[in-house]
Amino acid sequence: MIYTLLSLISCKDYSKENRDHLVFRYNQYENISSLDPAFARDVANIWSTNQLFNGLIQLDDSLHIKPDIAKKWEISENALEYTFILRNDVRFHKHKQFKTKDSSRLVTAKDFVYSFDRIINPNVASPGNWVLKNVEKYEAISDTIFKIKLKKPFPAFLGLLGMRYCSVVPKEIVEHYGQQFRSNPIGTGPFKFKMWEENVKLVLRRNELYFEKDEKGKQLPYLEAVAITFLPDKQSEFLQFAQGKIDLLNSLDASYKDELLTPSGKLRDKYKNRVNISKGSYLNSEYLGFYLDTDKKEIQSELLRKAINYGFDRKKMITYLKNGIGTPAINGFIPKGMPGFNNIPGYEYNPEKARQLVDQFKKQTGNNKPTIRLATDSNYQSICEFIQRELEKAGLNVIVDVMPSSTIRQKKWTGKLDSFRASWIADYPDAENFLSPYYSKNFTPNGPNYTHFKNETFDQLYEESFLIMDTKVREQHYAKMDSIIIANAPIVPLYYDQVVRFTQKNVKGLTNNPQNFLVLKRVWKEKK
């Protein structure tokens, strides 16, 4: 396999030992559906397109907004107009369709006009069209000046532009390939497309025209190539990693977590000399949700929803079922690591309180055997069964329904689940992203409010937050909204997830970030 990949990288007959340190290899067990950034909806697509494309801005590992193709910008006093000054040295990857001497051309502001037009074009049907829903217009003032005007202030807008949806693409190449641009991507990123055998392998090569340099003035990226395989299950992926055939393991699956880690989350002795582990905050809140637009008394009852919140030990759950990976969610829905996390008081483990609340429900309703059905996929079955056993002690019967994640997703949208296990992962680095699922105008299927939670005070604070430009004041608003969610208990926060990455010892420069993006432009490998 590695010889096949290396032959694609170079026509010279280098040995594996001489070239292996120039190739970064990882497995994507969820298949990539498109290399077009307009369809960068899930992790698999985002990771790959992140190597191929750039946008106006980028986020560093602390989620600070940094220049990318836009070298600077200005925001008007009314916070409606954004003027971006573009670099004049960014070139698209080479392609014969560019009728130029070097088969490339410079990026201009008109390319962003075209790229944004694509996102909102209903014929393209990009799942990222919502990113520009608050934009009134955008225009190219000159080759290097791009202007955006909003319909109303939205403080998180700059961070939103860091999403891969907002990448710049070249009109002539997209129109040349049409729908097949998905498998023939041309961007500006640190790596360029080489070949893709779907469900088998994807190879990217170093972009020799890339515009970014490191702190010492050396051109990025350092690697010569990226090779991605598509083994369909995590056990096979782990075996490849254990044998040193891939460089990165980006998850902790139940099938191998005890092989790699001790119960406290430390590497086991047999891997210490071969593997590095890194952990960091991940903007992902894991939770149980209740669909409140129901006539089922158990779901409507705030007493029972609070009883569930009190009725199990989150710390014990993390230690024994997650090998210490994750932070118990004893605060609000906004996760640790997100600006706006305010340590608001949530639900601590209190089995006696849980029992009292269940007894109170029984007295009020005459229902002596309250029952709730909880939907989950197999990855979270052990967690849901742990909660099930704990709540039985409080007098609440929980039936755990295990079903495919795709089925859960569809049923959540249509309100066909009483309660469900879910994740909310940040699209952009503003706590508003974690509050939008509880705004009443976002009821599914027209928005992400799966619980159909409605609270007038919450809605008012949510709408007011868009007008607050002072970050600290806005975060105070966010904390009040988060407290309202906890007080009304439409959800049960389980834990704030962590990014956990395992790499081979010779991998250097790979950093974590709270959105779990894969950034390879500063990565290198030492020769073994």
| Span 86-90, average pLDDT | 98
Residue 60 dihedral angles phi and psi, to the nearest 5° = -85, -175
CB-based contact 31:198 (threshold 8 Å): yes
Q: How confident is the model at residue 10, as a pLDDT?
A: 44
Distance CA 112, CA 147 (A): 10
Q: Which two tokens stand for residue 210?
A: 């890339």
Residue with tokens 């894969």: 518
In angstroms, the Cα distances linking 276 to 237, 279, 502, 528 are 17, 10, 6, 15
4: pLDDT strictly greater than 50:
no
Q: pLDDT for 183-205, tens place per residue? A: 999 999 999 999 999 999 999 99
All residues at 6 or more sequence positions from 350 whose CB lies less than 8 Å from its CB, including other chains: 310
End-to-end alpha-carbon separation of the chain, Å?
Answer: 19
pTM assigned to the model: 0.83
Find tokens 């497309």 and name the residue. 193
Cβ contacts of 409 within 8 Å, gap of 6 or more: none
The answer to whether 314 and 328 have CB atoms below 8 angstroms apart is yes
**Distance from the Cα of residue 326 to its chain's centroid:** 16
CA torsion angle 191 196 200 204 (round to 10): -10
pLDDT digits (tens, 9 = 90+) for 279-329: 888 999 999 999 999 999 999 999 999 999 999 999 999 998 988 889 999
Quick one: tokens of 295? Answer: 């006539």
CB-CB neighbours of 528 under 10 Å: 10
CA distances from residue 69 to 106, 166, 224, 440 in whole angstroms, order as listed = 11, 12, 23, 37
